[in-house]
Chain A
Amino acid sequence: MPNVLPPDFADLEPFADWAIPTERARYAKRVASTMDELQAFYDAAFPRLQAATGYLEELSLDDIAEDEKRLLWLFCALVTVAFPVEAWRQPRVPDSGAASIDAVVEPAI
């Protein structure tokens, strides 16, 4: 399969299915995942985010390439996944039951 992320982030290709363009779909994938799956994604992606501050600061949103867009969405997914991994210890927000809060407007990129 051809790579979909920028070459510098080839090590994250196994997690390319997290490069999802909307918050609602990222959250849906999170709550449909096991903690092991979330932990594996977090363990691979978090150190890369930490090291990529400079790269991301140089990345303008005006003329962003498709592979860079996917990297941005993958890191957006990491933001969503960080809550269960770092705080909740479960995919869903504790005590949130059947409640949902859905994104209805969000940035195009």
Chain B
Amino acid sequence: MAHFPKPAEGSWTEHLKIDTEPVSYADSITPEHYELERDAIFRRTWLNVGRVEQLPKAGSYFTKELDAARTSVIVVRNLKGEVRAFHNVCRHRGNKLVWNEFPREETSGFCRQFTCKYHAWRYDLDGALTFVQQESEFFDLDKADYGLVAVQCEVWEGFVFVNLDAGNTTPLRDYLGKFGKGIEGYPFHKLTQVHKYRAEIGSNWKLFIDAFAEFYHAPILHSGQYTPDEARKIQKYGYEALAYDVDGPHGLVSSWGGIAPPNDRKMVKPIEGALRSGLFGPWDAPDIGLEELPPSINATRNPLWGMDSFVFFPNFMLLIWKPNWVLTYHYWPTSYNTHIFEGTAYFVPPKNAFQRLQQELAAVSFKEYGLQDGNTLEATQTMLESGTVTDFPLNDQEVLLRHLHRTALQYVRDHQERTAATAS
């Protein structure tokens, strides 16, 4: 029942030189393995922590809790307009430098300098220690030795990344590889209308990436988005992607257009018909001044194209939709079986109330279906942890899941080898 052609090898999985054996989820069910991932993955890779629009002027800052990487960072725009990042820790006695009310919650704002709540040590926007309370009481203290600990920080297409590995030598752009380069030029800076959602999810972080890296589940779990007759038709049809690709640790699924707008109005619910919008976005695409999509977006130039979903390892997904809007997903682990999920929709600012409502429907649809995904993940996690079943057959539409788990395992193995080499 092939609707779209597959590579000459007969499957995407074999084409991408990935094995086809059943998969183990032993990497998702123990605290011990998670501890390895924290050091091997989250302290060693480029992590997307925000967008430049969150830092509109010199002195704008936000904090990001990176529990998986065992730290919190301050991201700030300095007086020269550069985006910089620092570990969020005062050099005096280790207090968290920037927080409000609740030490574990993220915050943002604007300041000329950072002042510690504890003893009022002050740091400028470049992290230099500028003031020590009762400085003469200290012993040979040279303020130049006690600036904030800098974190590598780079910006790609307006997305701000940090890397906690002080010894990292791979520039962000190289790390993002061919997908990153092939997306450059997309006008993300024009999509400044933001709807951001956050959820605490009771599953390993990789399981939610799994859920969003395949659409095999969509016609079943999310059948409620269609009228009953249409849902049955779509279940029979199933799901096939236009194309899959991998590049280093990263992955891509390119998908057909779905229902934005639908070929048949019967497919959509009344509110979608009234607002000409839905899960796939407003049907009327705003002008974003793009004559041709950058080469990695709809790379196969398929006329049926609807959306590309890029999985940038380890925990950043970037979805670019045909009707000129963008979704990002982030998965921030908090333990082996919990994580914080963030979903952020970016639209061109609406010109009028109708466009505002079209965007509201797209954002709320994402939330409704996300709620179904989130709870299903907790159900999966509990039974994986039972250990009753240990091998799971994945199909060809789930190739990115194999790639993700294989990549994460490889990072852990490389880390173990490095650690063993250092120890011996």
Residues of A within 8 A of B (CB): 23, 46, 49-50, 53, 56-61, 64, 68, 71-72, 75-76, 78-80, 82-83, 86-88, 93-97, 99-107, 109
Contact = CB atoms under 8 A, between A and B. Distances in A.
B351 interface: yes
B361 A86 contact: no
Interface of B: 193-201, 224-225, 269-271, 274-275, 341, 343-344, 350-357, 360-361, 363-364, 367-368, 370-372, 374-376, 378
A95 B372 CA distance: 7
Contacts of B372: 93-96
Main secondary structure of the interface of B (DSSP, over half): helix
Contacts of A106: 194-196, 363
Contacts, number: 118
A33 B195 CA distance: 24
Given A50-B274, A87-B224, A105-B194, A95 B199 contact: no
Name, among A46, A83, A97, A99, the residue most crowded by chain B CB atoms within 10 Å (CB to CB).
Answer: A99
A49 B199 CA distance: 31
B360 A76 contact: yes
Contacts of B341: 101
Contacts of A94: 224, 372
B359 to A, nearest CB: 8
Nearest to A102: B198
B275 A79 contact: yes
Given A23-B364, A100-B371, A102-B197, 10 more contacts: A23-B360, A53-B274, A76-B360, A82-B269, A87-B224, A93-B368, A94-B224, A101-B367, A106-B194, A106-B195
B352 A58 contact: yes
Contact of A105 (B195, B201, B271): B195
B371 A79 contact: no
A94 B201 CA distance: 17
A105 B356 CA distance: 15
A104 B196 contact: yes
A22 to B, nearest CB: 11
A61 B271 contact: no
Given A60-B351, A83-B364, A100-B199, A109 B356 contact: yes
A25 B295 CA distance: 42
A72 B270 contact: no
B357 A72 contact: yes
A35 B355 CA distance: 28
A107 B271 contact: no
Contacts of B370: 101
Contacts of B376: 95
A76 B343 CA distance: 19
Given A56-B352, A64-B353, A99 B371 contact: yes
A61 B371 contact: no
Given A68-B353, A101-B198, A105-B195, A79 B361 contact: yes
A53 B225 contact: no
B235 to A, nearest CB: 16
Most buried by A among B195, B200, B271, B357: B271
Nearest to A88: B224
Contacts of A109: 356
Contacts of B195: 23, 103, 105-107
A92 B243 CA distance: 35
A60 B356 CA distance: 10
A104 B356 contact: no
